[in-house]
């Protein structure tokens, strides 16, 4: 699978961006968490075989349609079924966790798969206020206002050198996330706002814009990041990519059908309807949306990439060139028919396979 050029300014209209995968471990009607995770491990293995660059797991809590509550655990499982692809978080929601815990988890993952672990960090809680409080009951965690400080803490703690805690009386205490690290995970800052773009630039970190759920502001955020980027010896130039919802099938009709369950899930979320497992395609077709849902579905669909392999490949090339990125992370958002095995990623695997062949 072609990976395009190495630097953003060199991206052209004909360049094929590198492709990666963002996985929320979707749970559909009648599917258990065990089956959903098995399907995602199959998909991670297939992405590795197809030459995709990264495979990241999101962090969300208390959602009946999402089993990716613990990125570090899922990354460890994915390490065991892959050989080459980078694995990581997209992302760890830092306000939910103590920085040392995150550093320890990802230092251990880096030791398990040296040189192919990414730590994507976000500022959102990934759930509601009740869940946020439950996550924090065990002790002090990352306050949102200290987000920048905690990012740098994690980077220091997870490095081979570790971090030094200095006390008022002049004493020092050395802390290492793992005893004898030979490397550290790559840290990426995730976001969908001016704040995240400017913070990534200030810290000189790679940046990912979460276009799969927040398309507004993409151009401004990327411009702020590139214009304000603070170069260093370790990171001499800005580095970024964007996410996108993608559904590919042999025919246009099938692609649009497979997009329906996730599109309706987004619409339910935005209209404050009770959340449920993701419907099968058959369920959606048998129960048409009301006017509000349909309006939201139509709006969201304009930002998705849905269609046949060649058509979507062309759209992704144009999208990458427009935003000067040489990598796009796919939210493989294809739904399932009722007769497809709950342990199979069927439609999602089809998207990855057809797109890899077309790029």
Bridge partners (DSSP) of residue 42 are none
Model confidence band, residue 132 (pLDDT cutoffs 50, 70, 90)? low
Return the C-alpha torsion angle 42, 258, 25, 45, nearest 10.
20
Model confidence band, residue 249 (pLDDT cutoffs 50, 70, 90)? very high
Q: How high is the pLDDT of residue 129? A: 64
pLDDT tens digits along 276-305: 999 999 999 999 999 999 999 999 999 999
The mean of the pLDDT values for the chain is 91
pLDDT tens digits along 2-28: 444 334 444 444 589 999 999 999 999
| Residue located via tokens 């309706």 | 264
pLDDT tens digits along 173-198: 999 999 999 999 999 999 999 999 99
Q: Compute the distance between CA of residue 325 and CA of residue 329 in angstroms, rounded to an integer.
A: 11
pLDDT tens digits along 60-70: 999 999 999 99
Q: Class for domain 8-358, per CATH? A: alpha beta
Q: How high is the pLDDT of residue 112? A: 98
308, pLDDT greater than 70: yes
Q: Compute the distance between CA of residue 288 and CA of residue 159 in angstroms, rounded to an integer.
A: 52
The residue extents of the domains of the chain are 8-358
Q: How high is the pLDDT of residue 13? A: 45
- Whether the CB-CB separation of 249 and 308 falls below 8 Å is answered with yes
């Amino acid at each position: 699978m072609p990976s395009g050029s190495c630097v953003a300014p060199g991206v052209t209209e004909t360049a094929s961006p590198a492709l990666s995968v963002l996985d929320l471990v979707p749970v559909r009607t009648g599917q258990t968490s065990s089956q959903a995770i098995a399907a995602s491990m199959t998909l991670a293995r297939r992405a590795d075989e197809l030459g995709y660059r990264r495979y990241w797991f999101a962090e969300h809590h208390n959602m009946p349609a999402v089993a990716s509550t613990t990125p570090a655990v899922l990354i460890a499982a994915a390490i065991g079924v892959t050989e080459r692809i980078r694995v990581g978080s997209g992302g760890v929601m830092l306000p939910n966790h103590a920085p040392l815990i995150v550093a320890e988890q990802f230092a251990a993952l880096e030791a398990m798969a040296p040189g192919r672990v990414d730590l994507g960090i976000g500022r959102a809680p990934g759930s509601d206020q009740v869940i946020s409080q439950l996550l924090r009951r065990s002790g002090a965690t990352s306050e949102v206002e200290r987000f920048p400080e905690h990012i740098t803490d994690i980077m220091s703690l997870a490095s081979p050198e570790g971090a030094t805690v200095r006390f008022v009386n002049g004493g020092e205490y050395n802390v290492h996330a793992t005893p004898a690290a030979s490397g550290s995970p790559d840290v990426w800052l995730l976001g969908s706002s001016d704040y995240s773009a400017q913070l990534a630039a200030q810290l000189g970190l790679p940046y990912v814009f979460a276009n799969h759920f927040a398309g507004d502001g993409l151009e401004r955020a990327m411009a702020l990041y590139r214009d304000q980027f603070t170069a260093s010896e370790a990171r001499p130039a800005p580095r970024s990519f964007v996410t996108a919802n993608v559904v590919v099938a042999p025919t246009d009709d099938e692609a649009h059908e497979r997009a329906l369950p996730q599109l309706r899930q987004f619409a339910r979320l935005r209209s404050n309807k009770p959340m449920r497992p993701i419907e099968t395609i058959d369920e959606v077709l048998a129960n048409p949306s009301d006017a509000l849902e349909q309006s939201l579905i139509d709006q969201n669909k304009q930002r998705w990439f849905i269609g046949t392999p060649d058509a979507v490949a062309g759209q992704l090339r144009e999208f990458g060139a427009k935003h000067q990125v040489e990598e796009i992370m796919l939210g493989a958002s294809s739904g399932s028919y009722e007769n497809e095995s709950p342990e199979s990623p069927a439609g999602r695997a089809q998207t990855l396979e057809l797109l890899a062949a077309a790029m």
